[in-house]
């Protein structure tokens, strides 16, 4: 993994190049002590490390690499091109596609993470949707104040730095970058670059008014 990462000039190259690594690693070996529920489905070339638990109705479609001491919860879907490092965790009903999770990364329940990179100890809460394709389905570019970079990718989700956390029901737009040690509160729509060591929260105004339909409700005995 280290050699693979250092060979990349830009972080999105991990999405492009990790297929080569998967071909070397996904040799179909499953450690003897892996706990796989009888209702789980595993197809294609899949490698699963020691101490990992695969719960009921999980679907794994190779090529996929799953490291040691990982946990894949009920009804999760691990799609081709996924690399889960040691001690990763995937919540129930969550879908992971063509993504790289570094050690101790965690994605909670009912989320979608596609064509993305999650750093060490990164955490994604429930209900997070990672958008990984433009509306016009053209190549995804990365824009900085100084330059526009061509990624060569038509699918590219987000990059979440080490120890960063995304709150519930967040939506990230294609090519969103979140720096290390950054916390993002729930219900936000993210795009572009979020600096490291930040806390991002949603500002909203809640207005409580008198229900103008109350008389009608009372007349109907409700």
Q: Tell me the CATH number at 131.
A: 2.160.10.10
Nearest partner of 83 among 21, 146, 159, judged by Cα: 21
Q: So what's the pLDDT on residue 217?
A: 81
Measured CA to CA, the distance from residue 60 to residue 54 in angstroms comes to: 10
- pTM for the model stands at 0.92
Q: Could you tell me the CA-to-CA distances from 201 to 152, 184, 208 in Å, in that order?
A: 32, 6, 22
- What is the per-residue pLDDT for 222? 54
Q: Mind listing the pLDDT tens digit of every residue in the chain (222 residues)?
A: 666 677 788 999 998 877 777 777 656 699 999 999 999 999 999 999 999 999 999 999 999 999 999 999 999 999 999 999 999 999 999 999 999 999 999 999 999 999 999 999 999 999 999 999 999 999 999 998 899 999 999 999 999 999 999 999 999 999 999 999 999 999 999 999 999 999 999 998 999 999 888 888 888 765
Using the CB atoms, write b or e for 182-215: b if 16+ within 10 Å. bbbeeebebeebbeeeeebeeeeeeeeeeeeeee
Say which DSSP state 120 is in: T
Instruction: Find out whether 99 and 81 touch, Cβ atoms under 8 Å.
Output: yes
- Determine the Cα–Cα distance for residues 159 and 196; give it in Å rounded to an integer: 12
What sign results for the dihedral spanned by CA atoms 169, 131, 202, 177? Answer: positive
Cα separation of 69 and 71, whole Å?
7
Query: DSSP letter at 197?
Result: T
Domain that holds residue 139: 2-219
Please say whether the beta carbons of 67 and 88 come within 8 A: yes
The neighbour count for residue 15, using CB atoms within 10 Å, is: 24
Which tokens belong to 1? 């993994």
pLDDT of residue 8: 85
How many residues does this entry show for the chain? 222
- Closest by CA to 130, choosing from 117, 119, 120, is 117
Residue appearing with tokens 């100890």 = 121
Number of domains in the chain: 1
Tell me how many degrees the CA angle 96-57-25 measures, rounded to the nearest 5: 50
């Amino acid at each position: 993994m280290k050699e693979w990462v250092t060979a990349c000039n830009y972080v999105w190259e991990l999405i492009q190049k990790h297929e080569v690594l998967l071909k070397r690693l996904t040799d179909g070996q499953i450690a003897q002590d892996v706990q796989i529920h009888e209702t789980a489905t595993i197809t294609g070339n899949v490698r699963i490390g020691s101490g990992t638990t695969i719960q009921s109705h999980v679907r794994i479609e190779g090529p996929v690499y799953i490291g040691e001491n990982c946990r894949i919860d009920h009804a999760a879907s691990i799609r081709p091109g996924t690399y889960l490092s040691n001690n990763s965790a995937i919540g129930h009903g969550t879908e992971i596609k063509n993504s790289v999770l570094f050690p101790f990364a965690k994605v909670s329940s009912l989320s979608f993470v596609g064509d993305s990179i999650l750093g060490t100890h990164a955490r994604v809460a429930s209900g997070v949707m990672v958008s990984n394709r433009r509306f016009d389905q053209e190549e995804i570019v990365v824009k900085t104040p100084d330059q526009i970079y061509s990624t060569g990718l038509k699918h590219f989700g987000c990059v979440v730095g080490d120890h960063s956390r995304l709150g519930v029901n967040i939506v990230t737009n294609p090519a969103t970058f979140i720096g290390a040690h950054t916390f993002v509160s729930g219900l936000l729509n993210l795009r572009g670059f979020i600096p490291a060591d930040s806390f991002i929260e949603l500002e909203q105004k809640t207005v409580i008014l008198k229900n103008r339909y109350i008389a009608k409700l009372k007349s109907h005995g409700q």
